[in-house]
Structure 1
Amino acid sequence: MNTSTGIAPTGPLTRLLVDPGAVLRQFGHTIAQDGRFAGPAVAAAVLLAAAGFLAARARIRARWQAAYRENARIITVLAPPRVDIHGAEALWSHLLGLLRPPRARLFSGQPHIGFEYCFTRAGASIRVWVPGTVPPQMIERAISAAWPGAHTTTADAATADFAPVPISAAATGGRLVLARSEVLPIQTKYDVDPLRPLLGACASLGGAEYAAVQILARPVTGRRARQARRKVRLLRGGGADTPAQRILDAFTPGARRAPVKTQGGGTGGMDPAQAAQYRAASAKAAGGLWDVRVAYAAASSEPGERESSPRLRGRAHQIASAFSVYSGANWFARKRLSDPAPVLAARAFHGRGHLLAAAELAVIAHLPTDPGAAGIERAGAASIAPPPGILAPNPEEGIKPIGTTDTGIARPVGLAVADARHHLHVMGATGSGKSTLMTHMLLDDVQAGRGAIVVDPKGDMIVDILSRLPASVASRTVLFDADDPACPPRLNVLQCDQVDDRDMVVDNVTGIFSRIFRAYWGPRTDDVFRAACLTLLTNDPSGNSHLGDVADLLTNPVVRARKTAGITDPVLKGFWESYEQLTEANRASIIGPLMNKLRAFLLRSFVRNSIASGPSSFDMGQVLDGGLLLARIPKGILGEQTTQLIGSLIVAKAWQGASKRARIPQSQRIDCSLYLDEGQNFLNLPYPVEDIIAEARGYRLSLTFAHQNLAQLPKDLREGISANARTKVFFNASPEDARELERHTSPLLHAHDLSHLGVYQAAARLVAAGEEKPAFTLRTTPLPPAIPGRDRFIREVARAAFGRAPGPTDDTDTQDAAPAPAEADPRFWPEAD
């Protein structure tokens, strides 16, 4: 620029260009002059602004942590019998989806989850802490997907029971941090479960001793991941990887070795150890990353226990030492932790942790893979989700409740009425949930107006049913109760409405007696009994003749002459002619075995009043078309054989009523159900079981057959039920039975699963839309609360409608019924007589 004109430069830009040194010296002089007056104020303002920023940030983060703790949940995880070694990596890779978008992180932060190993004298439990801002169902589903068969239970984390160690206990502990750069990985490849040292360190705790390891983890944001990749690049180039190193490099640029330039960014020319670390760090930074904090504690609630006691310090040292198994390119170092019990209970994630890849997090936070890991409570059986096509209960659509799923979010499971016609086989020990399952199904039948019959040889199930029935069903309920023999309903098994049914009635009654008394029932006894029953039916099919008349027919000549006078059948007439020619001694010898069976049966007043005292007081066909018959016949009151006889006769009468449906079109047949608890006692009809079951489906009679074990079933009954009762619900079974039953549930559920099912847990293979679906597991739901006074009300109304008080003569139905309550309408059904 030309300055010979003598005109001095006036603009600041001109002065800076003409003499930059002078301008900078003048600027520095001005700052120095003004700084003596404004410096303290500026410094104070800067400090106040910084303090305000830090306080605001702390308050915001505290608010975030409070939001995480509010409504937080604890998910307790029971490991399945077989743990997939790759499941943990799948879980943590899946949960990377918890990473929030930048805007959401700005206002609400990034929530973390906690994985905890908690140890007591009873053993180890594995828990997952879920903040209140994360739906626990999401975590449950992720756990179920990672470890099929794992059981999860969710509870409120605010209760003291779910603190890792008791807050009031004396505790010592620490933190575990990565010893080297966080981009270098720990060891992740093992031939055996790396949790073994930790489980061993926390074994054999005393009654007041506790131990815990807590792993808090949150997905890493993009900025943190970029910083990690930058550190990896610096590892390859030999550059600085910390702020301090970068500052030193700025002042001493020649102090570091020149970067090693490799073709294509590879490791050629690098030191082998450095190259191995670079490759490991590159692999770690390439995948999803977690920000992780690891803490541990050993505690004791023994009186007088101190945090510094050698016992607690030794236990804490063992826990920390167990993590040395993860040493590789990186390892864990210990740091002190003050007040470990409340710190672990707070589950707060302050500041930054250390970066771990999903594979690294998986090796320190997973379910034990050793089948015999000490102190680990495992799920007894695998939990399997229901397959597609399994319906939910819906009374309006005719879908009965079965239970709820036990994987992920519990949802109800149902069985369509049309599919129930393929019959239901229920097996399980006493108290496993069979009665609860059948009670739910029965109550649904009653609410929908479908007919149902229940035969209960123990009595508890019907007690539960009576106290939960709707009041509207009282007037159509027939109740046989051995504990209430005063005024029972009548069921005459020798009564038939159609002449064509006589042979079937006689076959049923004779067949039942012969099966129950098979060891003492010969052809002669069968012949006499059959002829006597057929004679009584021929003489009076209306129901005035009953089983009690068999003894009079065989022993009283006057009665015999009257009953046989009108017989025209030559074979039956020939039998009685031969019988009359026998001497009294011969007759006594022939009828003796039969008479002692009948006498033992009829000597019980309940049996005599309900089975052998006159015409039936109800119509079994009407029961099947919308009524309810409850037979409470406990073996402890009646004896085993009497219970079998009464139950079998009721089943025979039900079968007789169902068979009549052959005379009406199938579309007009109303669905009904027959529930047999300990069903092997009552399926004694003289027909093959497979034929009965197949025909019952056509009559729309659904059979629910329940029992305790396979040894109770004769071979023909076992095979018939196995093949023809297509819906299976198996509660806990013995190992021997489980090996037999797994044919119905494999490949998803095996013998081990069937023999280790939990309380009220069952393996189910349902029929849906006529097709057998794969097996899955479920839990029965508790019964609704009992309705006060409902049991007594149902009994009174049922007694008034169908009860018949015994009198001095029982050959007619003239005895007075019990008085009916005002709410009852005994005219609901016309009485059969």
Structure 2
Amino acid sequence: MWLFALIIGAFTNDINLALSWGFVFLVASFFVKRDEPTLTPHEEELYQGILNKLGQPLFRTDTRITVAAESSQRIDQLFKGVSGSLAPLNSPFQALGDSALFQNKVSYRFREFKFTRRLPSLLVTNSSIFAASELASIYHFPYGTIKTEGMVRSHSRTLPATLGMKNNKFDVVLGRNNHHGEITPIGLTAAERERHVFIIGGAGNGKTTMLQYAIAQDIKNGKGVAVVDPHGDMAETLLQHIPEKRINDVIYFNPDDLAYPIGLNLLELTPGLEGDELLREKDLVTESVVSVFRKIFSEDDTGGHRIEYVLRNAIQTALYVKDATLFTVYDLLNDPVYRKQVMKDIDDKNLVNFWKQELGKAGDMQKVKMAAGITAKIGRFLFSASAKRILEQPRSTINFDGILDGKILICNFSKGLLGEDTSELFGIAILAKIQLASLRRARLKQADRRPFYLYVDEFQNFATPSFVQMLSEARKYKLYLTMAEQTTSQQDEQQMVNVILANVGTVICFRSGNPSDEQTEEYAKSKFKWQIGEDVMPFVYEATSKEVRFTDLRDPRPRFRELFAFHCPETLLEWSKSAKSLRASFSDIPELDETGLRACQVIAINNLETSLKDNRP
């Protein structure tokens, strides 16, 4: 347009005319619509991203990555992994990268100093500007359904170890307390172990592992130890942890080793005893054997007390026989000729009267009832290759008095190899022998009694009333027990449970095999209070697919109570499908029996039933 005005001026030689046309074109240009420049899709996205970021709170951010590993290769791998996770934050208008100016020790130590003290960068150019949404994508608290690689998850809260635990000198360490990165060994002092230890926990919760760990420490520290293992795995594992200097102290009792059977005579008496000492020894041996068979006898056996009476007399008689064994009792009850021969040397009038008057004058059927139960129990071990070879030896090849003086006895009584009855017999017999040896320590001075530690796994299989009662006396003879079982309900008698709990100083509880009476009761007493914000929840439910339990934490002594089954979703669903609902059943309330009721009570009940029938509860 300006060129057109100049041409007019050149041809007309009139500058005013040219300026006039130029002014006209200038004014007209303001009214001409021009095309605005357009943005590419990439520029539009970038433009919207910048506007979105500027519309949020902005933060100056220093991003530092510190990686520690055992090798440089692993460090490089971890660093690339963390750096790669920040890649989504890179965009055309911002980028994250290494801003280190010098790769030397001075700059490294300076950056480490800033990192550990959370100091910002001295140079503003080293920082990034992040919006709130970008910061949220970099760091956020983990959520249960999000799987994060390398994330350590804790399914329970932790408590710090008490000051007493931190300052104690433990005789044996059982585990570690890890609270906020502080690791404290947890164990038992020598004084605590003297009051016995009772471990409760279901299968697979770590009872045997804890026992194994404690036993290995005792063996390493030169202590006297006896282990009764009804499974066999722990016994075999412990053999691998025997120090070379203690190999000669080990007695490994494995009844399944038929080539080299160990002798175990339940009726063996200490040589050299006379007078009252011999009588006292016979009484102890008799009681120990009776306790063995009391455990083996089934609860269904009729006339149990009568059988025990016959067994006691038979054992006392067998003790008059030289080199008597358990099978001597069997012969006395089963072989009249042998019994008559033995009776010639007996001077005890009570025993003579028993065999001649009570058993001798009894009818054949009555004799069978009196003796058949005992001969059947003992006879079964005559046909067990391992039991017969061990129990028929006249001399025990294990010196239990010597074992209590610092030896190591490891008993492998695997039920899978021996059978349940034979395993129980050997376990109970070993405990009875150790009990007798500890009682013989009464002849020693207190200072001469060396501490001895007895470990019994699956204690319920071997517990006898006489041995359990001895818990209260074992401390005097420096016999200290550690017993483990799955649940107290496995004990045959509740009285035995009461005696055990009354005489143990330490009870270690894992997740119990019987949670309703041993575990959930303790939830209500826990130091971990269930909270919503700052308010403690007054009620707590514990639900499974079969039952619901409830506790009121406001009670002075809170405990769980079992609720009705209709709290379970499955039961409620069944009711909803029922042809007749609970409310509908109110229409069929039976007629009230007014016997013994006052007039006001009859009126109140009838009014209530009427309101229920009218659907006005």
Match of residue 523 from structure 1: 305
CA–CA distance in structure 2, aligned partners of residues 293 and 551 of structure 1: 92
Match of residue 547 from structure 1: 326
Match of residue 536 from structure 1: 318
Q: Deviations over 1:553-600 (max 9, x none)?
A: 112233212322233333222111132233555433431222111111
- Counterpart of 2:496, as a letter, is L
Match of residue 708 from structure 1: 486
Distance 1:481 1:220, change over 3 A: closer
1:401 equivalent in alignment to 2:176: no
Distance 1:294 1:479, change over 3 A: farther
Q: Deviations over 1:128-155 (max 9, x none)?
A: x6679xxxxxxxxxxxxxxxxxxxxx99
The secondary structure found in structure 2 opposite 1:686 is helix
Which one of 240, 248, 268 corresponds to residue 475 of structure 1? 248
Match of residue 223 from structure 2: 450
CA–CA distance in structure 2, aligned partners of residues 388 and 720 of structure 1: 31
Which one of 686, 692, 711 corresponds to residue 470 of structure 2? 692
Map 1:320-719 to 2 at 5 A: 332=132, 367=141, 378-390=153-165, 399-407=171-179, 408-497=181-270, 498-499=277-278, 500-521=280-301, 522-540=304-322, 544-577=323-356, 578-686=358-466, 689=468, 691-714=469-492, 715-719=494-498
Q: Deviations over 1:174-226 (max 9, x none)?
A: 59x99xxxxxxxxxxxxxxxxxxxxxxxxxxxxxxxxxxxxx977565998xx
Tell me the CA shift for residue 607 of structure 1: 1.1
Tell me the CA shift for residue 168 of structure 1: 7.9
Checking the alignment, whether the CA contact within 8 Å between 1:601 and 1:642 is kept in structure 2 is yes
Tell me the CA shift for residue 655 of structure 1: 1.0
The percentage of counterpart residues that share the same residue type is 27
The total of aligned residue pairs comes to 436
Checking the alignment, whether the CA contact within 8 Å between 1:385 and 1:406 is kept in structure 2 is yes
The secondary structure found in structure 2 opposite 1:403 is strand
The secondary structure found in structure 1 opposite 2:325 is coil
Checking the alignment, whether the CA contact within 8 Å between 2:255 and 2:386 is kept in structure 1 is yes
CA–CA distance in structure 2, aligned partners of residues 294 and 651 of structure 1: 75
Tell me the CA shift for residue 533 of structure 1: 0.8
Q: Give TM-score scaled by structure 1 length.
A: 0.46
Map 1:163-202 to 2 at 5 A: 165=81, 172-174=88-90
The secondary structure found in structure 2 opposite 1:490 is coil
Checking the alignment, whether the CA contact within 8 Å between 2:256 and 2:418 is kept in structure 1 is no
CA–CA distance in structure 1, aligned partners of residues 375 and 524 of structure 2: 45
Map 1:93-104 to 2 at 5 A: none
Tell me the CA shift for residue 160 of structure 1: 7.0
The secondary structure found in structure 2 opposite 1:519 is coil
Distance 1:391 1:374, change over 3 A: closer
Q: Deviations over 1:322-379 (max 9, x none)?
A: xxxxxxxxx6265xxxxxxxxxxxxxxxxxxx9xxxxxx9x995645x8x66658742
Checking the alignment, whether the CA contact within 8 Å between 2:331 and 2:338 is kept in structure 1 is yes
Distance 1:165 1:421, change over 3 A: same
Checking the alignment, whether the CA contact within 8 Å between 1:446 and 1:452 is kept in structure 2 is yes
- Counterpart of 2:88, as a letter, is T
Larger radius of gyration: 2
Cα-Cα RMSD: 4.2
Checking the alignment, whether the CA contact within 8 Å between 1:425 and 1:725 is kept in structure 2 is yes
- Counterpart of 2:201, as a letter, is G
- Counterpart of 1:549, as a letter, is T
The secondary structure found in structure 2 opposite 1:454 is strand
Distance 1:161 1:489, change over 3 A: farther
- Counterpart of 2:331, as a letter, is D
Map 1:731-742 to 2 at 5 A: 731-733=510-512, 735-736=515-516, 739=519, 742=522
Q: Deviations over 1:438-478 (max 9, x none)?
A: 22322232233322111101000010011221233333322
CA–CA distance in structure 1, aligned partners of residues 282 and 528 of structure 2: 49
CA–CA distance in structure 2, aligned partners of residues 490 and 424 of structure 1: 30
CA–CA distance in structure 2, aligned partners of residues 532 and 413 of structure 1: 51
CA–CA distance in structure 1, aligned partners of residues 394 and 174 of structure 2: 40
Q: Deviations over 1:508-537 (max 9, x none)?
A: 211221233232441221122111111112
Distance 1:746 1:719, change over 3 A: farther
Tell me the CA shift for residue 670 of structure 1: 0.8
Checking the alignment, whether the CA contact within 8 Å between 1:520 and 1:593 is kept in structure 2 is no
Checking the alignment, whether the CA contact within 8 Å between 1:113 and 1:131 is kept in structure 2 is no
CA–CA distance in structure 2, aligned partners of residues 436 and 292 of structure 1: 52
The secondary structure found in structure 1 opposite 2:88 is strand
CA–CA distance in structure 1, aligned partners of residues 146 and 517 of structure 2: 28
* Gapped regions of structure 1 (runs ≥ 5): 1-110, 115-128, 133-153, 179-215, 228-241, 243-290, 296-330, 335-353, 355-360, 756-833
Tell me the CA shift for residue 677 of structure 1: 0.7
Q: Deviations over 1:249-303 (max 9, x none)?
A: xxxxxxxxxxxxxxxxxxxxxxxxxxxxxxxxxxxxxxxxxx99798xxxxxxxx
CA–CA distance in structure 1, aligned partners of residues 442 and 128 of structure 2: 73
- Counterpart of 1:332, as a letter, is A
* Gapped regions of structure 2 (runs ≥ 5): 1-61, 95-113, 271-276, 531-539, 544-617
Match of residue 75 from structure 1: none
Tell me the CA shift for residue 674 of structure 1: 0.8
The secondary structure found in structure 2 opposite 1:487 is coil
